[in-house]
Amino acid sequence: MRTSIHGQWSSRWIFILAATGSAVGLGNIWRFPYLTGENGGGAFVLVYLLCVIMMGIPIMMAEILLGRRGRKSPINTMETLAAEEGLNPNWRFLGWLGVLAGFIILSYYSVIAGWTIAFIFKTGMGDFVGANAEQTTTIFSELISSPGILLFWHSIFMFITIRVVSRGVSGGLERAVKFLMPALFVLLLVMVGYAMSTEKFLDGLKYLFIPDFNSLAEKNLFSDVFLPALGQAFFSLSIGMGAIMIYGSYLSKDSSITSNCFVIAIADTSVAILAGIAIFPIVFTYGLDPSDGPGLIFISLPIAFGQMPFGTFFGCLFFILLMFAAWTSSISLLEPAVTWLVESKKMSRIKASYIAGFIAWLLGVLTALSFNYWAFEFSFAGAIKQNGLFDIFDILTSNIMLPLGGVLVAIFTSWLMSRKSTVDELGLGDSIAYKIWRFTIRYIAPIGVLIIFLNSIIVFIFWLTVLFKILFILKINSLGSKGFGK
Ligand code: PFF
């Protein structure tokens, strides 16, 4: 039996905690509520839940299966498994797609995680005591319009991510996740408790759980609701880019992939739903606009912290825990690239972590500037996006690269790998559970993604125009630097 040169989890629970640590992060508490607000409330949530069940869980099982069988970085795992199954070694490009997506996600993820660090200090210093919606909006706007501050916190966050990855994931991560994840969960329950005391609690619940198809009349269901919901399911479960695959490669052979996946997906989804239940009643009670975009939780939750008893303490603790949740996710975004550098370029883990982390940091500078100097607006999926490159990075990775990566994983495991290999690895025998998994991953996942992609063709036209715009800008710049007119 193969083992990973990078180590192994010390127990099944540590794997579950680490994978949950990867899944639960800004995606659940920051991204899920704001996308729900932008893309149609209950209808978005419904499609998101369907995507988690019908595509997310089966693809997560497939990714872990591949990781555990290959026991290498996603790039080398794909190459090795393709060779073993007599397939084209170019399947390694699936690993590359993941590494690239990981870099792009990490680059902006770190900037947003930087906001949470800034908010630890703001809440801790009592900036929000008694604040109304207008004041919290101003505080947030001031933060994102200061590139220096954004870059500072982005750098700190990237540094602490690199530190953990450079020491080997299992050591630091195991300890962090054991206490912090449950604490975050409890604190979310406290926030839900506060939301229950607000006037518009029921309105918030209705908005979240009852699809209002009338409000979608002007939207294109596929590109404006289904595609973002699909992307959110992949983003939130950390699938489609090799993060869960690499964690699977440290999993011992006797642990059940299926039950692990269910635990992870249930934990991840409950955190997102709890965050929604905590946030929307506050949004409605204080007259905020649910489609306010990426600032939504940073504007709404501080109002609650400013009003509730011990709010400064709870607020500070909340942002600390959110930062830790982001940290345990960012580690898994960097890990696939680092393991590849260690395996294939024979670098030390420390050097590999700093190099890969530095590249992601550089890319993150673009995001930090897209909230101020380089901000530009465009409309996408029925919503106005105001933060140019950040939004482009986010949409490109979660709505396109992750689902594409996930479907290729699905096709590889269910159509190309031998049935015997997957039966062997999943340990379900030829049971009904195995058959359901195989059916979903063979048909439902690829067909579902294909239908959503094809119906979102407008989105792809959008990408083409973005590409042309970028080429055009580059051309203008190159003419300029050649001394245009001289
Ligand atoms: N799942 C993480 C979150 O919800 O915050 C983000 C993430 C981590 C996405 C790892 C993708 C990934 F591979």
Among protein residues, the one with the nearest Cα to ligand 1's atom 4 is 27
What pLDDT sits at residue 479? 64
Q: Bridge-partner residues for 379, per DSSP? A: 384
Residue type, 324: F
Looking up tokens 């792809």 gives 460
Ligand 1 pocket mutation, candidates 105, 110, 165, 324, criterion most atoms within 8 A of CB: 105
* Helix, strand, coil fractions of the chain, as percent rounded to 5: 80, 0, 20
Looking up tokens 């055009």 gives 472
Distance CA 422, CA 68 (A): 11
Q: Measure 262 CA to ligand 1 centroid, in angstroms.
A: 17
Q: Bridge-partner residues for 331, per DSSP? A: none
* Residue ranges of the chain with per-residue pLDDT less than 50: 483-486
Ligand 1 pocket mutation, candidates 230, 329, 330, 339, criterion most atoms within 8 A of CB: 329
Please say whether the beta carbons of 128 and 139 come within 8 A: yes
Residue type, 472: F
Looking at the CA of residue 241, tell me the nearest atom of ligand 1. Answer: 13
What pLDDT sits at residue 5? 82
What pLDDT sits at residue 486? 32
Ligand 1 pocket mutation, candidates 20, 22, 32, 247, criterion most atoms within 8 A of CB: 22
Q: Measure 230 CA to ligand 1 centroid, in angstroms.
A: 14
Distance CA 161, CA 157 (A): 6
Distance CA 287, CA 290 (A): 9
Angle between helices 12-23 and 311-344 (to 10 degrees): 110
Looking up tokens 């094809």 gives 454
Q: Please name the residue ranges forming H helices in 217-310.
A: 227-237, 243-248, 257-285, 296-307
Q: Bridge-partner residues for 383, per DSSP? A: 380
Please say whether the beta carbons of 331 and 173 come within 8 A: yes
Among protein residues, the one with the nearest Cα to ligand 1's atom 13 is 238
Q: Measure 299 CA to ligand 1 centroid, in angstroms.
A: 23
Q: Measure 22 CA to ligand 1 centroid, in angstroms.
A: 6
What's the half-sphere exposure (Cβ side, CA atoms, 13 Å) at 267?
23
pTM: 0.93
Mean pLDDT rounded to a whole number for the chain: 90
Distance CA 30, CA 44 (A): 16
Which whole-number Å values give the CA distances from 297 to 31, 271, 276, 289, 396, in the listed order? 9, 14, 10, 11, 23
Tokens of 84: 């073993």
Please say whether the beta carbons of 406 and 390 come within 8 A: no
Looking at the CA of residue 329, tell me the nearest atom of ligand 1. Answer: 8
What pLDDT sits at residue 37? 93
Task: Tell me which residues have their CB closer than 6 angstroms to ligand 1.
Answer: 22-23, 25-28, 102, 105, 235-236, 238, 241, 243, 329, 332-333
Ligand 1 pocket mutation, candidates 116, 165, 181, 235, criterion most atoms within 8 A of CB: 235
Please say whether the beta carbons of 128 and 303 come within 8 A: yes
CA 264 to chain centre: 14
Using the Cα atoms of residue 346, residue 347, residue 348 and residue 350 in order, give the sign of their dihedral.
negative
∠ CA 219-225-227 to the nearest 5 degrees? 125
What pLDDT sits at residue 349? 93
Angle between helices 257-285 and 227-237 (to 10 degrees): 120
| Length of the chain, in residues | 486
Q: Measure 307 CA to ligand 1 centroid, in angstroms.
A: 31
Complete DSSP assignment for 369-437? HTTTTT---EEETTEEE-SHHHHHHHIIIIIIIHHHHHHHHHHIIIIIS-HHHHHHHH--TT-HHHHHH
Q: Measure 142 CA to ligand 1 centroid, in angstroms.
A: 27
